[in-house]
Amino acid sequence: MKRQLPLLHQMGLYFNGYTIAGALILILGTWLCFSIIDIEELSAEDRLKEATVTTKGYLIEKWEAEWNDNGMPILHGYDYYFIHPDLGQLTNTSFSSKILATSNLNELEIIYSQDNPYLNKVVGMDYTDRSKASLLTILIPIVGIMLLIIGIRKARFRKHLLRVGKFVWGTFIKHEKTSVTINDQPQFRLYYEYETRDKTVYSQQVLSTKPSDFDKEELIIYDPEKPSDSVLLYVLSYLLAKYIEKNWAEAKV
């Protein structure tokens, strides 16, 4: 007979470190994508590669568009105008990381789309101050989604174990220090061994910055169909572990 958990405790399984971190990263990454990425501007650069109409333009002003950490300009904006035969004077801004002397920019070569003359730029410069590298921002919400998936799969795994698993006492074998530090505290890997009903011995590992919180014997839940799949009871939330201890007779081994 499969056990049932109260809905509140079932939901609690899904509020693990992976899902919380994944949700936060997904929200932040999505906001950054909408803030930084302008698909229309980035695609305009590609559309201008197909443009063939050029004309003379004239510099209006040169200005600093971006600076490095030392306060030095690394990107300049160049405001300009040109005369279109049908639309008259059109103004725009192109960008370049090169420092160009304004004395050499009295006349500029402008390229524009014949179908849309408002889509134009200075030849040799960029249409937008945002490079295609900004598309890498998409990786942030992707990481968030991956963490969410890991967290959900982890929760479903533990939910399955709690529904069908067998309880047994695991014995502490050893612990070792890992290379990870969390909040200036070294992380340890603890090893426990447990014996299933067919007398086969399996091991379970636990990561913790406070190995002293774990006893020499810890209650372990394992899957009878796949005994190597297991979890220590007190790796779960404190409230859930206490509920199981109090309400499930199987936990009183």
How many CB atoms are located within 10 Å of the residue 146 CB? 14
Helix (H) or strand (E) holding 146: helix 139-164
Distance of CA 237 to the CA centre of its chain: 25
pLDDT for residue 55: 94
C-alpha to C-alpha distance for 248 and 253, rounded to whole angstroms:
10
pLDDT for residue 169: 94
What digits encode the pLDDT tens for the residues 203-230? 999 989 988 888 899 999 999 999 999 9
What is the SS3 assignment for 179?
strand
Token digits of residue 134: 């900004």
Amino acid at position 213, single letter: D
What digits encode the pLDDT tens for the residues 179-210? 999 888 999 999 999 999 889 999 999 989 98
How many CB atoms are located within 10 Å of the residue 183 CB? 5
- Of 7-21, 30-44, 143-157, the range with the lowest mean pLDDT is 30-44
C-alpha to C-alpha distance for 190 and 192, rounded to whole angstroms:
7
pTM, two decimals, is 0.66
pLDDT for residue 134: 59
Look up tokens 């937008």; give the residue. 128
What is residue 110's DSSP assignment? E
Greatest mean pLDDT among 123-127, 158-162, 237-241 lies in 158-162
